[in-house]
A and B are shown apart, each in its own frame.
Chain A
């Protein structure tokens, strides 16, 4: 039973029409702009994305959040397309658009009928170079970003815990700063800061255009040359590595916020993927995360939520494809009547089982099955494909690595999983954060960073 699906699943993946070596298609302009097109002719629509390799990892202390603020300012207009027109044009063509900023990148996207892709490319090319950023627009939009921070972080206990966890786990590495920025840095930010960010990082040699959809890649390449070809490459600011010094002992912290359920998050420093061909450990860590929490039969759900009932919820996560340093997370909420300490003991117990006994052949087969099924299902979503391509490039890999990385994950052995579990999950490289739930009957507003400054 276990073996049969694996073979047919592989066949399913290989039978996909997109497996053809040429698709996606890639070109690079002389100014360094990369253009990647995945043709998908199932429907008359397209996803258009522009990825800038500039995220919060590139920010300096005192300027946290500026990458994200600039993302907001990118909708404020150019000489040719004045404020508000950008969204209006796209909407009237039947499209939807938005953008997002992460630790590693800032990305802009439009989902549109394929026939209007040229207009989308024109709009993005225009705002790569011709943004108008006024003090007045900036002041107004900064308030919006502060509201966003209040919504996403200040009033969200789990976000507060993760913000604190990252800022404690990393002493030197820039992942210690939240993508949305510290509230006080937002309060102090000026339009000059945002403008400097734009001048520094928004350049063809720091960007990738990704298109997935009902298009001819040759048309997209031609248009990219026409629209971006005259832009000059910029010399980008020096990126210091800011490597994290070795952690010398376990760190623990507590966050108090209104909630009923306590919450626990644990993070170990682990290696990220650097060399797709030579590395082994990042793939083994990926498999470990899947064995613990990759699907409904994984160990955390089976043993901790359903089995011993110590957990209301329990999770494990690892993302090895990032520009900066990697963490391996455990998290969860204790079940009613259980404590955070009992949950932590149980999570550590699952880790110890892998360290002592390894993982089974059946579990490895499931990892492979899930990996393949996920990959086939991803073909149904053009956005998911565009995200995968853009994300890998932002992390410094190639879209061509996708299949290779899947092969590598399928080749991970039980011994390799056990070895990384033993090697990296030491208390000395661990940070533990706990949410201490507070009652909400206190009617007085909390004193927050925001409150102090207004």
Chain B
């Protein structure tokens, strides 16, 4: 046994040596004349350009009675821009073979583009992106149609146990706070064209833009692209601060539903992305419920008892305290037992922390798995956006293994105790007896 542990430790050290020898991709950063921040990784292996432009100020900037405004504004950017209507925009996109996407959370909102890097496709795609970013027209008729579709989708989601549970969980974690708001039939009903114009004017601002570029262009070209996309955007003010998060009181929300399974979520607002405890928390969470098939929750709830197909835990840090959550679905008749097993597993973990073997296993996976998180242009763009939005150092991909390696079992125990406080844990059960 002890021999085996030494062997494992040696393998671990060798693996670490290898991964630190493999420097991550070179990230370049600059500020465009427009004020936009730019992050860039040059890769010519494929004739593809990937780009994301994000603005500080997401759904947390929605007016209190108009939840869903940020998402609607972003969704309707390509509903008409400049002299083009939505059919012309979609036809042009398809003819270019390019792919536009939208992204956003409580803190940010943005668009992404994937295009071939050949001149005609690239130029055409960038022209189109620039047009919809800077000169959207938000036609009334399209807004009316999309409001109706959004409301229908909300009403349908409100019948599904998974969607109900997610919405009620967010509301219970963040009562009265923008992080807990979800679009409703009423809030979407109130959105009008002036709201979209105002949201665009106030939030799609050059100085708030963060552009991430990965792929088959040179640095000089990337500089020109970043400036071209943002030069037409207004200068404006910094985003309004999101109000501080107040921790909820411990409680249980039960929602009746005829589904065969109960959907259970438990958690609380836990951690900011900038918190130095982040690394201890992700290492610990890997052991608790983040490490897929090898986590404690998976072993206790699924492997030993067959209570659930899916059981997990995660930290989703944001600018402010993002959620910690444990989630599972189980046959409604055994919801109480499954919840007890999950709760006991969390308590046991918090009381004892990870074992040395668990701690080592978590580090090995997080460190040696780093290469898998950046092994395509698309994944690299995601990693770059993360670095860019949270202002992480340009050496972050190289620093990450060291930050993880330095975490001790005591760090994990202390970080969980200070961020996962039972007196603030909220439990939502949809589909109870």
Contacts and interface: CB of A to CB of B under 8 A. Distances in A.
A442 interface: yes
A190 to B, nearest CB: 16
A84 interface: yes
B372 A111 contact: yes
A48 to B, nearest CB: 12
B153 A312 contact: yes
B303 A140 contact: yes
Contacts of B333: 454
Contacts of B94: 295-297, 366, 369-370
11 contacts: A84-B303, A91-B291, A94-B15, A94-B364, A143-B307, A154-B260, A154-B261, A296-B93, A333-B156, A445-B332, A454-B333
B374 interface: yes
B309 A147 contact: yes
A373 B369 contact: no
B306 A143 contact: yes
B234 interface: no
Interface in A16-50: 16-17, 42-45
A148 B43 CA distance: 41
A73 to B, nearest CB: 12
A392 interface: no
Interface in B402-416: none
B258 A93 contact: no
Contacts of A93: 15, 364, 368
Nearest to A44: B371
A373 B100 CA distance: 13
A306 B87 contact: yes
A88 B258 CA distance: 37
Interface stretch (B117-125, B225-233, B241-249): B117-125
A305 B116 CA distance: 29
B116 A9 contact: yes
Interface stretch (A226-234, A253-261, A417-425): A253-261
A123 to B, nearest CB: 13
Interface in A119-171: 139-148, 150-151, 154-155
Contacts of B330: 147
Given A377-B114, A382-B375, A144 B152 contact: no
Contact of B308 (A1, A115, A147): A147
A94 B361 contact: no
Interface in B314-337: 329-333
Interface string B16-33: 001000100000000000
Contact of A380 (B161, B305, B367, B376): B376
A96 interface: yes
A87 B292 contact: yes
Interface residues of A, number: 83
Contact of B47 (A5, A15, A450): A15
B90 A113 contact: no
A446 B332 CA distance: 11
Interface in A382-430: 382
Contacts of B119: 8
B47 A440 contact: no
A150 B331 CA distance: 8
A259 B378 contact: no
B152 A335 contact: yes
A2 interface: yes
A261 B155 contact: yes
A91 B159 contact: no
Contacts of B368: 93-95, 113
A437 interface: yes
Contacts of B152: 260-261, 312, 333, 335-336
Interface string A442-454: 1111101011001
A446 B99 CA distance: 43
B369 A443 contact: no
A8 B120 contact: yes
Contacts of A144: 302, 306, 308-309
Nearest to B25: A43
Contact of A260 (B155, B257, B374): B155
Contacts of B160: 258-259
A443 B145 contact: no
Contacts of B98: 373
Nearest to B432: A443
A252 to B, nearest CB: 23
B294 A87 contact: yes
Interface string B100-134: 00000000000000101111110010000000000
A86 B38 CA distance: 43
Contacts of B394: none
B95 A92 contact: no
Contact of B260 (A143, A150, A443): A150
B45 interface: yes
A75 interface: yes
Contacts of A224: none
A307 B423 CA distance: 53
Interface in B77-105: 86-87, 90-91, 93-99
A376 interface: yes
A370 B86 CA distance: 19
B310 interface: yes
A302 interface: yes
Contacts of A75: 293
B194 to A, nearest CB: 23
B260 A446 contact: yes
A259 B97 contact: no
A112 interface: yes
Contacts of A147: 261, 306-309, 329-331
Nearest to A9: B97
A390 B94 CA distance: 29
A197 B418 CA distance: 50
Contact of B372 (A45, A87, A261, A451): A45
A131 B326 CA distance: 32
A50 B333 CA distance: 38
B155 A115 contact: no
A274 interface: no
Contact of B376 (A142, A155, A366, A381): A381
Residue among A2, A147, A150 with most chain B CB within 10 A = A147
Contacts of A312: 149, 152-153
B372 A92 contact: no
A266 interface: no
A336 B260 contact: no
A309 B332 CA distance: 39
Given A87-B292, A335-B149, A336-B152, A380 B46 contact: yes
